[in-house]
Structure 1
Amino acid sequence: MSDAVKLSLVVPVFNEELAIELFYHAVCAHPELTRHDLELLFVDDGSRDGSARVLERLRQWDPRVLVLQLSRNFGKEAALFAGIEHASGDVVVPLDVDLQDPLDVIPRLLEQWRQGAEVVLAKRIDRRSDSPLKRLTAEGFYRLHNRIAQTPIEENVGDFRLMSREVVDAIRELPERNLFMKGILSWVGFETRVVEYERAPRSAGSSKFNGWKLWNLALEGFTSFSTVPLRLWTYLGGFVALVSLAYAGYLIFEKLAFGNRVPGYPSLMTAILFFGGVQLIGIGVLGEYIGRIYIETKRRPRYVLKRGARRDA
């Protein structure tokens, strides 16, 4: 027991009534986890099913269980940050309640930590369990994000990872309200190693992430860690202006040299609609950044606790 540590498992929950007890019993039955000073920190992100009732029952049964109940659904990113902010362990491991992140991987993460790593990423070997569309979009997201972002993120790595106390304390100091946790967890740096694993099927229930939520999360990642989209529109604006000047020069030359009639209404409408569309897209990109600046300036809390003691910073 000399190598036992204070281990915090951070588990965001949203409408996972069927999966919570399965996860809890799986952890309790795992000897490589129970040998440590274990903290099971569940974050109820405004569940509307019986999740809160199940979590309260577990909390009363087991003093190792801590439950943070948010006042409404703030989203997984905020729930994950809340869990990390309140975790008290020497090492902190965020993971999903559906057991798709195998518990057998955690001892391997701990082994890398003992060898000196501050962050140990759990990386999926492949994405065979995902649909072809999800595999394609995930590959495109990672490729684009890592090309334009100042801080790249490891491909096929979710929230499942191990972080030392020093890393957790650094994350807690970050002030931003727009949360893209994959980027934040990579941004803080520290010595990082990777452990590969094969993801398991869900133990119960279904994923709460739909295509729209994933799209918004991707936008959050692009705008939180890169200004390249803004710069691209500057370049595009300059290119369009040059093309327009060249075309205007061509029309003037054609009129003076050959006396041809300058094209009228159809070409004019085409140009107006094209440039109008370009301007609207550019305004939309600019609006994404301005909207995030607006949210940051209000400095609202990332989440509001309904129940659950807040540990002192």
Structure 2
Amino acid sequence: MTMAQNPMISVVVPMYNEEEVIDVFFEAITPVLRSLTDNYEIICVNDGSSDMTLPKLIAARNNDPAIKIVDLSRNFGKELALTAGLDFATGDAVVPIDADLQDPPELITEMVQKWRDGADMVIAVRSDRDNDGWFKRKSAELFYRVAGRLSDTGIPDNAGDFRLMDRKVIEALRAMPERTRFMKGIFAWLGFKQAEVTYARPKRAAGTTKWKFWKLWNFALEGIFSFTTLPLRIWTYIGFAVSVIAPAYGSFIVVRTLIFGNDVPGYASTITLILFFSGLNMLGLGILGEYVGRVFMEVKRRPLYLVREAIGLELEKEER
């Protein structure tokens, strides 16, 4: 059969402590894939789970050989777990999806149709996030607004990792070896012919979110510092502004002293200026440190991830 008639579809599912949702996830996604093709694989990446995620995945594979398992040696984080799954995927089309069913599997049918119509990447965009908490909705809205303004690469609003990518897109993605990875930015940078599908984001099918405040904050910083040097460039403008203001303020002080004398010692204003500019220096050093730290991680050239065991997959793909 031709690819359009019976394509190979790979679904990539990063999992970290998802024992509560595994059974319902497979019950939801397997009928969708079977309705599309006889040729599919579900690559589940166990990202160092400490619960029963791995045993439950092995039990599910015993009932369905299309389920394949990449067991990482420890918890590397979702971005690298997703990278591992994409590296092992062999499909003509590859779909990253979360196991919590907040990414509706039935949307894959519409994605495949748009792919068959010629799109290289079909992005799932959340049109309604009412089932997310207020803080998560607002923080996501703020992040996409800030990232969109700062980045040279436009990141679609309310678009996560859930999308369909053609094989040529996956091969282009695998040519990007950076160690600090913000996948949403990488997906946007790739380009290619894109289409969108929209959906209302449902509640988690089971379990609890792993994205707590501190993790979301670090993820946001990763997204900003990984895809733009604008935070560094801003300090050029701040330095220029200070270099203009400082002589002007100094001239004002000299003139005022000559005319009115120096009857006020000025201790408070001096301390205020010292604290203000010291704070600016520390903030500038912190931003510089973020970039230096990323250079440090890159030059070590460690593998992106390590695989303890690949079940149902050949370890022919090198760990990157």
What is the rounded CA distance, in whole Å, between the counterparts of 2:190 and 2:68 in structure 1? 26
Instruction: Give the 5 Å matches for 1:70-109.
Output: 70-109=72-111
The equivalent residue for 1:112 is: 114
Instruction: Give the 5 Å matches for 1:129-144.
Output: 129-144=131-146
Q: What secondary structure does 2:87 align onto?
A: helix
Under a length normalisation based on structure 2, what TM-score does the superposition of the two structures give? 0.94
What is the rounded CA distance, in whole Å, between the counterparts of 1:86 and 1:245 in structure 2? 60
Alpha carbons of 1:232 and 1:221: their partners in 2 closer, same or farther (altered >3 Å)? Answer: same
The equivalent residue for 1:202 is: 204
The equivalent residue for 1:183 is: 185
Contact 2:25 2:100 in 1 (8 A): yes
Deviation at 1:245, TM superposition (A): 1.8
What is the rounded CA distance, in whole Å, between the counterparts of 2:35 and 2:309 in structure 1? 27
Contact 2:32 2:109 in 1 (8 A): no
Instruction: State the identity as a percent.
Output: 47
What is the rounded CA distance, in whole Å, between the counterparts of 1:34 and 1:115 in structure 2? 15
What is the rounded CA distance, in whole Å, between the counterparts of 1:244 and 1:262 in structure 2? 20
Q: What secondary structure does 2:113 align onto?
A: helix
The equivalent residue for 1:52 is: 54
What is the rounded CA distance, in whole Å, between the counterparts of 2:41 and 2:99 in structure 1? 15
Contact 2:36 2:109 in 1 (8 A): no
Contact 1:27 1:33 in 2 (8 A): no
The equivalent residue for 2:8 is: 6
Q: Aligned pair 1:274/2:276, yes or no?
A: yes
The equivalent residue for 1:310 is: 315
Letter matched to residue 311 of structure 1: E
Deviation at 1:162, TM superposition (A): 0.1
Q: What secondary structure does 1:30 align onto?
A: helix
Worse-matched range after superposition: 196-205 or 79-88:
196-205
Instruction: Give the 5 Å matches for 1:218-233.
Output: 218-233=220-235
Query: 1:145-167 CA deviation, whole Å, 9 max, x = no partner?
Result: 11110111111111100000000
Deviation at 1:24, TM superposition (A): 1.3
Alpha carbons of 1:36 and 1:198: their partners in 2 closer, same or farther (altered >3 Å)? Answer: farther
Q: Aligned pair 1:25/2:30, yes or no?
A: no
Q: What secondary structure does 1:100 align onto?
A: coil
Alpha carbons of 1:306 and 1:33: their partners in 2 closer, same or farther (altered >3 Å)? Answer: farther
What is the rounded CA distance, in whole Å, between the counterparts of 1:245 and 1:162 in structure 2? 57
Query: 1:196-223 CA deviation, whole Å, 9 max, x = no partner?
Result: 1122221110111111111111111111
Worse-matched range after superposition: 132-141 or 75-84:
132-141
What is the rounded CA distance, in whole Å, between the counterparts of 1:262 and 1:166 in structure 2? 71
The equivalent residue for 2:169 is: 167
Which ranges in structure 2 are unaligned for 5 or more consecutive residues? none
Contact 1:12 1:80 in 2 (8 A): yes
Q: What secondary structure does 1:29 align onto?
A: helix
What is the rounded CA distance, in whole Å, between the counterparts of 1:275 and 1:312 in structure 2? 51
Contact 1:7 1:36 in 2 (8 A): no
Runs of 4+ residues deviating >6 angstroms: none
What is the rounded CA distance, in whole Å, between the counterparts of 2:232 and 2:296 in structure 1? 17
Letter matched to residue 155 of structure 2: I
Worse-matched range after superposition: 2-11 or 286-295:
2-11
What is the rounded CA distance, in whole Å, between the counterparts of 1:31 and 1:224 in structure 2? 34
Alpha carbons of 1:210 and 1:33: their partners in 2 closer, same or farther (altered >3 Å)? Answer: farther
The equivalent residue for 1:39 is: 41
Worse-matched range after superposition: 281-290 or 254-263:
254-263
Q: 2:153 aligns with which of 151, 154, 160?
A: 151
Letter matched to residue 241 of structure 1: S
Which ranges in structure 1 are unaligned for 5 or more consecutive residues? none
Letter matched to residue 249 of structure 1: S
Instruction: Give the 5 Å matches for 1:290-301.
Output: 290-301=292-303
What is the rounded CA distance, in whole Å, between the counterparts of 2:32 and 2:162 in structure 1? 18
CA RMSD of aligned residues (A): 1.5
Under a length normalisation based on structure 1, what TM-score does the superposition of the two structures give? 0.96
Deviation at 1:83, TM superposition (A): 0.4
Deviation at 1:102, TM superposition (A): 1.0
Deviation at 1:114, TM superposition (A): 0.4
Alpha carbons of 1:300 and 1:137: their partners in 2 closer, same or farther (altered >3 Å)? Answer: same
Alpha carbons of 1:85 and 1:26: their partners in 2 closer, same or farther (altered >3 Å)? Answer: same
